[in-house]
A and B are shown apart, each in its own frame.
Chain A
Amino acid sequence: MTTELDLSRADVPLLRIVGVELRKSVDTLAGRWLLGSIGIITVLWDLFWLGRPQELHTVTLFVVAPAVLQTPLLGVMGILLATSEWSQRTAMVTFSLVPKRNRTIIAKIIAALALTTIVFAMSLAVAALLAAVAGASDPWDLPPGAMGQAYLGALISTFKGVGFGLLLLNTPAAIVAFLLAPLVVQSITGLIGALNRISDWVNFNTAMSPLYDDVPGMLTGEQWGHLISASVVWFVIPFAIGIWRVLNAEVK
């Protein structure tokens, strides 16, 4: 055994940290149930969609329809990625193995991206299967724009969750804030006349909804503006403050 440290040793590569983060998201019952329930809800909602008129049985709509329930669950998934280390106090172990905290944050962001992509791919597979079995006369409408928008919506939902998680570092608080805060802001901007004008620019749910219109089409310039502005409010700002917090927090 040498008694001095080996400072020339290679550091833990980022991809390995990403792999560990992905593994941590499925190695507990809580994590497995969450991902499992996203899958189950997607399938159930698509089966329910089969009850609607057959011309609506297109791949795009099979992807878009379950989003109403999928997006909050993706948010919870994002929250757990960011908060479980703190609520379960494993941050002490994580940061003593990878003391450069920004690397763990980057790994969690990449893991969130990967998990969202897997969920979206799964939705697409279920949609393709159902469209093939019980599809409309022309089920294979795959406008890349609409698909991209649905994928973008999923990503924004996940990362809004990660942002709230990083900001609050506490699972229950982050989930409550994640679900309630947009509703509160929506009510306030709706009730107070002077705020009506900014309503469209700060309301997360209204800004997101065009991504999932019943008849999906490309967003207009103004809708893009609303989406970008609402994303800054609900995702970029919490994210920035949250990252600062994690980098500076005392881990106990």
Chain B
Amino acid sequence: MIRVDSLTKDYRGVRAVDNISFTCEPGTVTGFLGPNGAGKSTTLRIITGLTIPTAGSATIGGVSFHDIPNPGTQVGVLLDASAQHAGRRGQEVLALGAATMGLPASRVEDMLNLVSLTGNEAKRRIRHYSLGMRQRLGIAHALLGEPTVLVLDEPANGLDPAGIHWMRKLLRTFADRGGTVLLSSHLLHEIQIIADDIIVIGKGKIVAQGPKEELLKGTGTFLRASDGAALASALQAAGIDATPQADGFHVDVPPEQAAKAAADAGVVVIEIRESSQGGLEEMFLQLTSDTQRDALPRYGGN
């Protein structure tokens, strides 16, 4: 279990992480979501002992990272897939890790297969790797020592959609076997695909946390019929307030209730879905635009 308790980190007057607390339970994948510069990476570096916090503490299994014996065999870490010697071959990176942890050399081959890096790719030097390949190599390195806890910073960065689904399956299996996973992302849809629990961070503070279903629960239903007027009166008859939206209606009741009202009046509904208005997506967009660093270009260009 990862436990972060009242953690704060200051950099020369700038508070990068502001009194945050959360836990990651075994058997779950926790997504750490926030815009760039929100304090995600700093928090993950503190958890893995690479950055000293200003106040508060971070522990894994009840102890600080420095006190975990042979930590590579217990906590798999991938903080920056590009932080590798450009002149080293992919398989050599894994071989060095295996040697440090005292693992048999056969683990290297196993991990290369697991992340689908071919023998040829493994023999290439890292400078020739795409970001996606570096991420796969980094995941392989994190899993090398058969850890029970994973800490991954933006692991889906540079992966194609198929790669993201592959990672979701990999982490799902890992968590289902009792493992604890904490991963970060600045993209809501990645976290939506991969995580069970979500922690949202902005400007160093946690702004929301909880199970994914709860945070992503829609605030209502959007539905559309070929006969808009008939649908409007059907909803009215059922006592449901309907707001016109696009070529349909937004209602503040669950999809089931809205569909029933339409069915009772014999109205044919051609589209119905949980509306994503409000909720996490809006909050996240708000956070992102608050911390948006780049002004739109004034003079054309890109």
Identify the closest chain B residue to A3 (Cβ).
B26
Contact of A92 among B1, B50, B180 (CB under 8 A): B50
Would you call A7 and B88 a contact (CB within 8 A)? no
> Which B residue's beta carbon lies closest to that of A85?
B85
A96 and B71 in contact, given A5-B148, A17-B100, A23-B96 (Cβ under 8 angstroms): yes
Chain B residue at minimum C-beta to C-beta distance from A4 = B61
Is the CB–CB distance between B99 and A23 below 8 Å? Answer: yes
Partner of A89, one of B1, B48, B83, B149: B83
Q: Pick the residue among B69, B80, B177 that contacts A10 (CB under 8 A).
A: B69
Give Cα distance in the complex from A248 to B52, angstroms.
8
Q: Is the beta-carbon distance between B70 and A9 smaller than 8 angstroms? A: yes
Known interface pairs A4-B61, A251-B50, A251-B51. Does A99 touch B68 (Cβ–Cβ under 8 Å)?
A: yes
How near does chain B come to A190, taking the closest CB pair, in angstroms?
41
Pair B48/A96 contact, Cβ less than 8 Å:
yes
Please give, as numbers and ranges, the residues of chain B lying within 8 Å of A92 by CB-CB distance: 50, 79-80, 83
Q: For the complex, give the distance between the alpha carbons of A30 and B67 in Å.
A: 34
- Are A1's CB and B179's CB within 8 A? yes
CB of A88, distance to nearest CB on chain B (Å): 4
Interface size class of A (residues with CB under 8 A): 35 or more
Q: Which residues of B contact A10 (CB under 8 A)?
A: 69-70
Docked-complex contact A2 and B96, CB < 8 angstroms: no
Least CB separation from B46: chain A residue: A250
Report B114 CB to chain A, min CB distance, Å.
16
Which residues of chain B in 40-79 are interfacial with respect to chain A, using CB atoms and an 8 Å cutoff? 41, 45, 48-52, 60-63, 65-75, 77, 79
Whether A3 pairs with B72 at a CB distance below 8 angstroms is no
Which residue from A9, A16, A250 sits with its C-beta under 8 Å from B73? Answer: A9
Chain B min CB distance to A133 (Å)? 37
CA distance A97 to B99 in the complex (A): 11
Residue pair B65, A3 in contact (C-beta under 8 Å): no
Q: Which of A5, A24, A84, A252 is B63 in contact with, Cβ under 8 Å?
A: A5
Interface members, chain A 137-170 (any B CB < 8 Å): none
In the complex, A93→B144 CA distance in Å?
13
- Give Cα A90 to B93, complex, Å: 10
Chain B nearest CB from A238 CB (Å) reads: 23
Q: Which of B48, B87, B101 contacts A28 (CB 8 A)?
A: B87
Interface centre among B77, B177, B180 (most CB of A within 10 A): B77
Main secondary structure of the interface of B (DSSP, over half): loop
Q: How far is the CB of A82 from chain B (nearest CB, A)?
A: 14
CB distance from B25 to the nearest CB of A (A): 9
CA distance A9 to B84 in the complex (A): 28
Interface string of A11-50 (1 = CB under 8 A from B): 1100011011001100111100000000000000000000
For the complex, what is the distance from the CA of A96 to the CA of B89, rounded to whole Å?
A: 20
Q: Does B141 sit within 8 A of A, measured CB to CB? A: yes
Q: How large is the interface on B (under 10, 10 to 19, 20 to 34, 35 or more residues)?
A: 35 or more
Cα distance, A67 to B82, chains bound together (Å): 38
Chain A proximity mask over B147-169: 1 for CB below 8 Å, otherwise 0: 01100000000000000000000
**Residues of A contacting B68 in the complex (Cβ-Cβ under 8 angstroms):** 5, 7, 99
- Is A98's beta carbon under 8 Å from chain B? yes
Is the C-beta of A6 less than 8 angstroms from some C-beta in chain B?
yes
Query: Are B72 and A97 in contact (CB-based, < 8 A)?
Result: yes
B41 contacts which chain A residues (CB < 8 A)? 252
Instruction: Check if B102 is an interface residue, CB within 8 A of chain A.
Output: yes
Q: Is B34 an interface residue (CB 8 A)?
A: no
Give A99 to B72 CA distance when docked, in angstroms: 10
Q: How far, in Å, is A251 (CB) from chain B's closest CB?
A: 4
Instruction: Report which of B1, B86, B97, B148 forms a contact with A93, defined as CB distance below 8 A.
Output: B97
* B218 / chain A contacts, CB cutoff of 8 Å: none
Q: Flag whether B248 is at the interface (Cβ < 8 A).
A: no
Q: Does B244 sit at the interface, judged by CB under 8 A? A: no
Residues of B within 8 A of A9 (CB): 69-70, 73-74
Name the one of A1, A2, A7, A28 contacting B85, with C-beta atoms under 8 angstroms: A28
Is the beta-carbon distance between B60 and A5 smaller than 8 angstroms? yes
Contacting pair B61 A16 (CB below 8 A): no
Q: Which 3 A-B pairs have the closest CB atoms?
A: A5-B61, A3-B26, A89-B83
Could you name 12 residue pairs across A and B whose Cβ atoms are closer than 8 Å?
A1-B178, A3-B179, A4-B148, A5-B63, A7-B67, A24-B96, A88-B84, A96-B65, A96-B79, A97-B71, A252-B41, A252-B80
Interface contacts beyond A88-B84, A90-B84, A96-B72: sample of 17 additional A-B pairs, CB < 8 Å, sorted by A: A4-B1, A5-B75, A8-B69, A10-B69, A11-B69, A17-B100, A24-B96, A27-B96, A28-B87, A90-B83, A95-B50, A96-B50, A97-B71, A97-B97, A98-B100, A250-B50, A252-B45
A binding-site residues for B, Cβ under 8 Å:
1-12, 16-17, 19-20, 23-24, 27-30, 84, 88-90, 92-93, 95-100, 248, 250-252
